[in-house]
Amino acid sequence: MSQSKTLYQLQQCDSGIDQAVKRIQAIESILSDSNELDFALKKQKEHKLILDEKQKFLKSAEHVVEIQNQKITQNQNKLYSGAVTNPKDLEDLQLESSSLQKYLSVLEERQLETMLESDQAQEIYNQTSAHAVTISQKKQAESEILSAEKSALESKISSLQSDRVAFLTNAEISELPIYENLRKSSGGIAVTLMQNSSCSACGSYIPSAIEQEARSPKKLSFCPACRRILHPGSS
């Protein structure tokens, strides 16, 4: 087996490991990203505070109306009980009754407005709560899928690493240091295929002399542009 083919096969193993590691890093980044859920929970909390405040105002408004009704009841009892006979006192009670009824209308209008605001706040809170639940469920489902994928990738890496060790044990690779250095300096791709007299990595033209040299089973040839190891793909 030619040196370039041996290194190309080693690279396929290393590239598989690199891709799996990169995907695991992406998965971990996704799993650790809780911004969407945090934002949804924050909005839910904000609208819960608003709802609590509106319900507090409504309760206060209801209490004020209740007190006003009690005052009216007391006024009516005095007015029609027969206990008050003085014309001036009766007139005062009638005026008071009219005033109390008018103010009750104002209070009931305020109560209605407060009730509508409370209902609206409740609706918005229900919507934000439902949205937070949806995001949480989506996150949980996504987490389960990605965690399973991560586990499979970790198994794949372990298998590829075992294959790499076995491959290096069985193959004589005198140019391994060159390969390792090129992987570091060339984005993880040390060996590139020649296709139609061109380097598949950078697209540069490969002169015929170098192309013939690359087909030699005993020596390595390099792309004159990107300096990667050339592999003819058929030897």
Mean pLDDT (10-residue bins), the chain, 235 residues: 87 96 97 97 98 98 98 95 93 96 97 98 98 98 98 98 91 89 94 94 95 88 96 75
Contact (Cβ atoms closer than 8 angstroms) between residue 156 and residue 173: no
Q: How far is CA 184 from the centre of its chain?
A: 33
Output the pLDDT for position 7. Answer: 93
CA distance 175 to 96: 108
The pTM assigned to this predicted structure is 0.75
Output the pLDDT for position 235. Answer: 46
State the CB neighbour count (10 A cutoff) for residue 224.
14
- Residues with Cβ within 8 Å of 225's Cβ and at least 6 positions away in sequence, in order, are 199, 202, 204
**Which DSSP string do the residues of 18-47 spell out, in sequence order?**
HHHHHHHHHHHHHHH--HHHHHHHHHHHHH
